[in-house]
Amino acid sequence: MTVYTEKMHVMNTYARWDVTIVKGSGTTVWDHTGKAYLDCTSGIGVTSLGHCPPAVSAKLHQQLDTLWHSSNVTQHPLQEELGKKLTELSGLDQVFFCNSGAEANEAAIKLARRYAQKTKNEDRFEIITFEQSFHGRTLATLTATGQQKVKEGFNPLPAGFITVPYGDVEAVKNVTTNQTCAVLLELVQGEGGVHPASMEFVTELYAWCKSNDILLMIDEVQTGIGRTGEWFSYQHYGIVPDVITLAKGLGSGFPIGAMLATEAVAAAFSPGSHGTTFGGNQLATTAGMATLLEMEQQNVLSHVKAMSEYLLDALKDIAKQYPHQIKGVRGLGLMVGLEMTGEVSGYLKAAQQKGVLLLQAGPNVIRLLPALIIQKSEIDQLVLVLKEILQSGEK
């Protein structure tokens, strides 16, 4: 295993940790020295069933000896099987498969405009998004993102996106015009600091979109596939949106994305209007279907709810003990933010040294995205490490 210390041959687009992961199993990963870590990042919300889940691995190995890829101009029974499963779980009607969350959101943006312009014959193209949101790194999705830092140096940005304060329905109403075609929303902002939307906000926004014939599109890239304790975060709010986007946890680490829509909206796409070379190939859809079936068989959603309660209670206890270092705890399911009074990079480094991998969401929030199979004993390990760091002042 080569660990590079000289000039790298990969572009410098990541502020990489000084950790080289070479192996993973369940909630544990090992670096090139053999040191083990409790992984509370799950590859930024990707390896929801843990690393190399045996049930998914077995299905992938079987498919590897059968067929990896064929063009999307051929019939794809595995796509249809996974699509049927996703529509049953979501209450939506049709699926477009792609490779990533950014591609899923790009597809949603295109679908919203095409639905307005081709199906309804209306000159609508504007999409309302929210401050501190994150929707991807393509030009359209970074423009939709409500964080200026991801936009710097990429001007001119595409027109047609209006960003308003998160949770503010009146702001949405104020910028709605006869050119508004959709609202794009994360119900728990991940990169923006782990902020769950309030029930009042979602209920009012949903009613506004319905009464004004505006599509409500929910970005479930990080929240979807059980992360919040339901298959999709909108199921906590008693609504069914027009469009949702998925990726991350759908394939247990194998790259796959998906956009789902109601039948009426999906009909705006026709042959040639959108497409992908690799999206939804045989390996990706095998991983997706195996992931969903394993989650059902292992009753993962119930486990997430139980572990979420256990984790949040433990973190709230810590917050009471260290009020000068912790401002608050928030989250939904196993998507949790620990807001600190100062920058958190030092806390992450100290945790790494003690064998726990954590994320951050902005400068002051420790973000926890453990595998959905995490156990109480592993949460106890995490809590113990956090207490040790806070007690010692390591950061």
Q: How far apart, in whole angstroms, are the C-alpha atoms of residue 318 and residue 330? A: 13
**Residue tagged 């260290």 (tokens):** 322
Neighbours of 125 (CB within 10 A): 18
Q: How far apart, in whole angstroms, are the C-alpha atoms of residue 315 and residue 40? A: 14
The answer to whether 305 touches 317, Cβ cutoff 8 Å, is no
State yes or no: 221 annotated in a binding site: yes
State yes or no: 137 annotated in a binding site: yes
Half-sphere exposure of 374 (CA within 13 A, CB side): 32
> Using only C-alpha atoms, what is the Rg of the chain?
21
State yes or no: 222 annotated in a binding site: yes
State yes or no: 381 annotated in a binding site: no
State yes or no: 361 annotated in a binding site: no
Determine the 3-state secondary structure of 373 from DSSP.
coil
State yes or no: 306 annotated in a binding site: no
The answer to whether the Cα torsion of 241, 235, 329, 202 is positive or negative is positive
The answer to whether 228 touches 332, Cβ cutoff 8 Å, is yes
Kindly state the tokens that stand for 27.
């909630």
State yes or no: 18 annotated in a binding site: no
State yes or no: 103 annotated in a binding site: no
Three-state secondary structure string covering 155-177: CCCCCCEEEECCCCHHHHHHHCC
Q: How far apart, in whole angstroms, are the C-alpha atoms of residue 391 and residue 321? A: 10
Kindly state the tokens that stand for 135.
């929707």
Can you spell out the DSSP letters for 169-228? HHHHHHH--TTEEEEEE-SEETTTT-EEPPHHHHHHHHHHHHHTT-EEEEE-TTTTTTTT
Annotated binding site: 101-102, 134, 137, 219-222, 276-277
Binding annotation for N(2)-acetyl-L-ornithine: 137, 276
Binding residues for pyridoxal 5'-phosphate: 101-102, 134, 219-222, 277
